[in-house]
């Protein structure tokens, strides 16, 4: 519950509003695919998930003290 209530930023609010509008439009136009997309956006906003999942799939500021993993080509 704490994750839902904390850490709100502009992109998270935009996802929330887009999800609500999409679900509302899906109900009015009876388009279930739009409802799924709206539900996905709403879930992303409430769970604080971004599209670029690397470590824990949550939106976090980069850790400047962390060393990048060794990659061998």
Report the number of distinct structural domains present in the chain: 1
Asked if residue 22 is part of any domain, the answer here is yes
3-state secondary structure of 71: coil
Residue 7 lies in a domain: yes
Summarised one tens digit per residue, pLDDT across range 10-46 is 888 888 899 999 999 999 999 999 999 999 999 888 8
Look at residue 64 and tell me if it is in a domain. no
pLDDT at 2 over 80: no
- Does residue 31 fall inside a structural domain? yes
Write the DSSP string, 9-67. -HHHHHHHHHHHHHHHHHHHHT-HHHHHHHHHHHHHHHHTB-S--SSSSB-----TTPP
The pair of structure tokens assigned to 33 is 């695919």
60 in a structural domain: no
Does residue 6 fall inside a structural domain? yes
What is the span of the domain harbouring residue 13?
Answer: 2-47
pLDDT of residue 6: 72
Conformation bin of residue 7: beta by default, left when phi > 0, alpha when psi is -120 to 50 = left
């Amino acid at each position: 519950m704490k994750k839902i209530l904390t850490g709100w930023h502009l992109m998270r609010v935009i996802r929330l509003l887009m999800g609500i509008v999409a679900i509302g439009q899906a109900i009015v136009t009876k388009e279930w695919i739009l409802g799924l997309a709206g539900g996905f956006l709403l879930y992303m906003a409430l769970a604080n998930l971004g599209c670029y999942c690397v470590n824990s799939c949550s939106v976090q500021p980069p850790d400047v003290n962390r060393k990048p993993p060794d990659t061998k080509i």
